[in-house]
Amino acid sequence: MAAAAECDVVMAATEPELLDDEEAKREAETFKEQGNAYYAKKDYNEAYNYYTKAIDMCPKNASYYGNRAATLMMLGRFREALGDAQQSVRLDDSFVRGHLREGKCHLSLGNAMAACRSFQRALELDHKNAQAQQEFKNANAVMEYEKIAEADFEKRDFRKVVFCMDRALEFAPACHRFKILKAECLAMLGRYPEAQSVASDILRMDSTNADALYVRGLCLYYEDCIEKAVQFFIQALRMAPDHEKACIACRNAKALKAKKEDGNKAFKEGNYKLAYELYTEALGIDPNNIKTNAKLYCNRGTVNSKLRKLDDAIEDCTNAVKLDDTYIKAYLRRAQCYMDTEQYEEAVRDYEKVYQTEKTKEHKQLLKNAQLELKKSKRKDYYKILGVDKNASEDEIKKAYRKRALMHHPDRHSGASAEVQKEEEKKFKEVGEAFTILSDPKKKTRYDSGQDLDEEGMNMGGELAGPFFSLSASGPGNFFFQFG
C-alpha cells in the first residue's frame, strides 16, 4: 500500500507538467495562427512577434522557425532569416520548405554555392518541386555571372562587370560583395554619384564596412577631393588593416597630392623646369585618376607655354580635354597657344566651345579677337611680304621695301624663263601693294584692325601706287630708287 501511495504521489506530481506541455503547444499554435494572419495582411513586424512567441512556447517546432524565417526574408533581414531556416532543418531535415528558405537566404546574401546545396537537398526530398528547380537554376546563373565578372574585372571591362552584377543582384539583393564590386566599377567608369549611392546605402546598414568606406574614398579620390579621400581610406584601414586596395589607394592619393603641391610651388617660384618634372612624375602615379591627371596635364601645358614650347603645351592641353571634355581652363590655355602659333581656326573652335559652356563677357571678347585674327589671316600678310615685324617702324618698313623691291624687280629677271618672270612680277607687285598700305598711317591702322581695305576704294587689286623703281643697264648694283 505504501508503494501504491508513493506511485500516486509521483503521478500527481508529474501530471500537471504533462498538461502544461499540451497547453503550451495549444498556445503556441494560437500564436502561430495569429502570426499567419498578420503575415497574410503583410504586417510582417507583428507576424514576427507572434512567431517568436510561438517559438518561445515550443522551441522544438521546425515550422515555427520556418515561418519566422519567411517573415524575416520579407523584412529584408536575410542573415537572421538564414539562422532560423537552418534551425528549422536541424530540427527536421525532411522539412522541404525549410531547405528552400535556407537556400533562398544563402542566394540573397550572395552565397550561390551554399544555396545550390540547399536546393539540391530540397529536390532530393521532392524531386518534382518546381520552386526548388527554378531556384537551383537561379543559383547557378549567379555563379556564372560571378565568374564572368571576375574575368572582366581583370580585363578592366568595367561596364560588363556592372552588367553582370546587376543581373546577379536580381537574385542576390542583399549581397554587399556584389554591390561593392558594382560600386567600384562605377567609380572606375566615372559614374561617381551612382557609386557613392551604392556605398552609402551599405554604410547606413553597416558603418564599419571597410569595402564601402574604400569605395566612398575612391569616388572622392577620382573627383580630385584627395584630402577627403585619404580620410576614408584611413578609416577603411582602421576597420580592416590588411585591406590591400585601400592601402594602395591611400598611398597613391598622398603621393599625388604631394607631387602636385610641389609642382605648384615650383611654378609660383618661377622654377618652370622643376615644375615640369614634378608634374610629369605626378602623371605617372595613377593613370586611372582622370580628373586629377587632366589638371596635371593642363598645369604642365602652362609650364610649357612659359618655356615657349607651344607645340608641347598644345599637346598637354589636348590630353587634358581628352580626359575631361568639360575642362574650360584647358580649352582656354590651348586656345591661347593656338593664337600664339597663328593657328586661328583652331583657336576659334576652342573659344566657341568655351563660350557655349560659359557665356561671359570675357569669353565673348576672346572669341571675337580670335575671329578677327582668323579673318586677318585669310588676307595677304603685308608684314610677311616685306619681311618685317608687326611693330616695325616707318624707317624699317621703307628699308624692307627697298630690299624686297630690288629683289623682285622685273628688269632683274629679264633673262629668266617666262614662268619665273611672271612669278617675280607678281611678287614685285605684292611688295608695292604692301608698302602702299603699311606706309600710310590711316590704311595701316585699318589693315591692323582687320577692316576691309576695299571699303573706301583703296584699289588693292589695281595698279601699284608706290615708289618708282628703275634699274640702269650700266651694270649690277647701279639702281635708281625714287619715291613717287
Query: End of a domain among 335, 352, 378?
Result: 378
From the list 93, 104, 96, 98, the residue with the least C-alpha distance to 122 is 96
Whether residues 64 and 136 fall in one domain: yes
Q: Is residue 112 part of a domain?
A: yes
Residue 421 pLDDT: 83
CB 104 within 8 A of CB 73: yes
Q: Is residue 241 part of a domain?
A: no
From the list 30, 89, 38, the residue with the least C-alpha distance to 56 is 30
Helices (H), strands (E): how many in the chain?
23, 2
Q: Within a 10 A sphere around the Cβ of 202, how many other Cβ atoms?
A: 19
The total number of structural domains that make up the chain: 3
Q: Within a 10 A sphere around the Cβ of 462, how many other Cβ atoms?
A: 9
Residue 390 pLDDT: 84
Say if strands 468-471 and 479-482 run parallel, antiparallel, or are unpaired.
antiparallel
Query: End of a domain among 157, 174, 191?
Result: 174
Residue 470 pLDDT: 53
Whether residues 300 and 405 fall in one domain: no
Whether residues 34 and 170 fall in one domain: yes
Residue 476 pLDDT: 43
Rg (CA), the chain: 42
Whether residues 387 and 322 fall in one domain: no
Whether residues 323 and 410 fall in one domain: no
348: which residues sit within 8 A by CB, 6+ positions away?
367, 370, 371, 374
Whether residues 107 and 129 fall in one domain: yes
Q: Is residue 238 part of a domain?
A: no
Q: Is residue 266 part of a domain?
A: no
Helix (H, G, I), strand (E, B) or coil at 241: coil
Report CA-CA distances (Å) from 292 to 156, 220, 274, 289.
Answer: 20, 11, 19, 6
Q: Is residue 265 part of a domain?
A: no
Report CA-CA distances (Å) from 127 to 86, 130, 275.
Answer: 21, 8, 73
Query: End of a domain among 356, 378, 400?
Result: 378
Question: What is the CATH number for 54?
Answer: 1.25.40.10
Helix (H, G, I), strand (E, B) or coil at 475: coil
Grid coordinates belonging to 399: 628699308
From the list 197, 199, 191, the residue with the least C-alpha distance to 222 is 191
Whether residues 414 and 304 fall in one domain: no
Return averaged pLDDT per consecutive 10 residues of the chain, 484 residues in all: 42 47 90 96 96 95 96 96 97 96 97 97 96 97 97 96 97 95 94 94 93 95 94 96 95 95 96 97 93 96 96 97 95 97 95 95 95 85 86 88 88 84 86 86 82 55 48 45 46
CB 53 within 8 A of CB 31: yes
* pTM of the predicted structure, to 2 decimals: 0.69
Whether residues 293 and 394 fall in one domain: no
72: which residues sit within 8 A by CB, 6+ positions away?
48, 78, 80, 81, 84
Whether residues 31 and 161 fall in one domain: yes
Q: Is residue 391 part of a domain?
A: yes
Q: Is residue 336 part of a domain?
A: yes
Q: Is residue 324 part of a domain?
A: yes
Whether residues 96 and 110 fall in one domain: yes
Whether residues 70 and 32 fall in one domain: yes
Whether residues 311 and 439 fall in one domain: no
Domain that holds residue 126: 24-174
Residue 15 pLDDT: 46
